[in-house]
């Protein structure tokens, strides 16, 4: 029975203080429902407005690529440094302890392999399972200009609609075919189509010229993929330039887990993205963390 002892009348109604009508911190997200905003605010840091996501979903079409042979061994220790983890449900359930408190961006399309046409994907997860896993967002590959462009946009539409019913945001990932040029014109086309079709944030590649136009014309936050493994300083420079030019952070995979010192690298990327550290200083930070880790290993052995 509710306790009715000593019910006190309200006294201080702050009559001179107008009700808060603050807008939400993320671009394009202000009219979303509370649950969507709350999930996005777990992925993006509300103080910096940016995110360092760790992408480890490559196995869904590549199998055990370098650095991802054992997600339980090599990736789990990195999760603490990421703002969010992008992963498949299979890898999550089998390799990642449920005690992690980081938001999960669940890979939600698949159905092809490197042996076949990559754009031929289908929706690979039911929204019921997304909710059961407690994912904070779903990730969908979209192949603009690819052989199965139409089908991949259809997957995005289905996933956005399912997510909207349950308050789960959708990340559209622009998959770029081998014969396509990754320039601002193409990336601008691909990211804009994803946002117009309802994606709540978009992942794409960085390009040296005109990237600021890509982010400006995309009405939702844009994250960059790391792409193939680069020298560490070059990867940090790319993250710095992309965020300077309007990216809301990175969703990096190979440039972290294929590094000699992945934990040092993800911390250096964080320094660039969240603290606006210059790439050269972040690289020094990377080297010092790497040396400390190497010394710790040598004293143990
Ligand atoms: C797209 O193909 C997948 O989401 C990849 O696993 C991810 O985008 C690749 O990230 P990165 O290019 O940084 O390795």
Q: How far is the CA of 161 from the centre of ligand 1 (A)?
A: 24
Of 52, 53, 54, 58, best ligand 1 pocket probe by most atoms within 8 Å of the beta carbon: 58
Reading the block at residue 246, the tokens are: 């309007």
Reading the block at residue 19, the tokens are: 């009700």
Give residue 292's pLDDT.
87
- Reference 252, options 264, 276, 269; nearest CA is 269
Give residue 3's pLDDT.
79
Which residue's alpha carbon is nearest to atom 12 within ligand 1?
227
Reading the block at residue 22, the tokens are: 């603050």
Give residue 206's pLDDT.
98
Give residue 301's pLDDT.
64
Q: How far is the CA of 46 from the centre of ligand 1 (A)?
A: 24
Which residue's alpha carbon is nearest to atom 10 within ligand 1?
253
State which ligand 1 atom lies nearest to the alpha carbon of 203: 8
Which residue's alpha carbon is nearest to atom 7 within ligand 1?
55
Give residue 10's pLDDT.
92
Residues carrying an active site annotation: 203
State which ligand 1 atom lies nearest to the alpha carbon of 227: 12
State which ligand 1 atom lies nearest to the alpha carbon of 255: 13
What does the alpha-carbon distance between residue 166 and residue 71 come to, in Å, rounded to a whole number? Answer: 29
Name residue, tokens 């770029």. 176
Which residue's alpha carbon is nearest to atom 6 within ligand 1?
58
What does the alpha-carbon distance between residue 288 and residue 143 come to, in Å, rounded to a whole number? Answer: 40
Q: How far is the CA of 30 from the centre of ligand 1 (A)?
A: 28
At residue 223, φ and ψ (nearest 5 deg) are: -110, 150
Give residue 179's pLDDT.
77
Q: What is the pLDDT along the chain (301 residues), one digit of tens a residue?
A: 677 888 899 999 999 999 988 899 999 999 999 999 999 999 999 999 999 999 999 999 999 999 999 999 999 999 999 999 999 999 999 999 999 999 999 999 999 999 999 999 999 999 999 999 999 999 999 999 999 999 999 999 999 999 999 999 999 999 987 778 889 999 999 999 999 999 999 999 999 999 999 999 999 999 999 999 999 999 999 999 999 999 999 999 999 999 999 999 999 999 999 999 999 999 999 999 999 888 777 776 6
- Reference 174, options 135, 155, 202, 195; nearest CA is 202
Q: Which residues line ligand 1 (CB under 6 A)?
A: 55, 57-58, 173, 175, 225-227, 252-255
What does the alpha-carbon distance between residue 240 and residue 250 come to, in Å, rounded to a whole number? Answer: 10
State which ligand 1 atom lies nearest to the alpha carbon of 86: 4
């Amino acid at each position: 029975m509710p306790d009715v002892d000593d019910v006190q009348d309200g006294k201080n109604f702050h009559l001179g203080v107008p009700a808060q009508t603050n807008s939400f911190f993320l671009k394009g997200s202000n009219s979303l429902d509370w649950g969507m905003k709350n999930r996005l605010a777990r992925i993006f840091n509300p103080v910096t407005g940016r995110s360092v996501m760790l992408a480890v979903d490559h196995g869904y079409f590549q199998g055990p690529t370098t650095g991802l042979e054992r997600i339980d061994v090599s990736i789990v220790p990195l999760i603490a440094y990421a703002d969010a983890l992008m992963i498949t449900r299979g890898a999550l359930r089998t390799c990642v302890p449920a005690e992690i408190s980081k938001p999960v961006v669940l890979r939600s399309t698949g159905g092809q392999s490197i042996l076949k046409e990559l754009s031929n994907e289908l929706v690979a997860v039911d929204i019921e399972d997304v909710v059961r896993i407690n994912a904070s967002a779903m990730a969908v590959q979209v192949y603009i200009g690819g052989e199965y462009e139409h089908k991949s946009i259809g997957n995005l539409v289905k996933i956005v609609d399912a997510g909207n019913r349950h308050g789960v945001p959708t990340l559209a990932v622009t998959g770029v075919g081998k014969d396509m040029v990754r320039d601002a014109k193409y990336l601008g086309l691909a990211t804009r189509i994803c946002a117009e079709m309802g994606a709540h944030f978009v992942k794409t590649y960085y390009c040296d010229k005109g990237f600021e136009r890509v982010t400006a014309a995309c009405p939702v936050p844009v994250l960059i993929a790391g792409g193939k493994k680069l020298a560490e300083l070059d990867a940090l420079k790319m993250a710095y330039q992309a965020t300077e030019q309007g990216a809301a952070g990175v969703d990096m995979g190979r440039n972290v887990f294929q590094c000699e010192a992945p934990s040092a690298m993800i911390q250096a990327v964080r320094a660039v993205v969240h603290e606006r550290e210059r790439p050269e200083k972040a690289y020094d930070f990377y080297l010092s963390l790497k040396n400390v880790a190497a010394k710790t290993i040598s004293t143990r052995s």
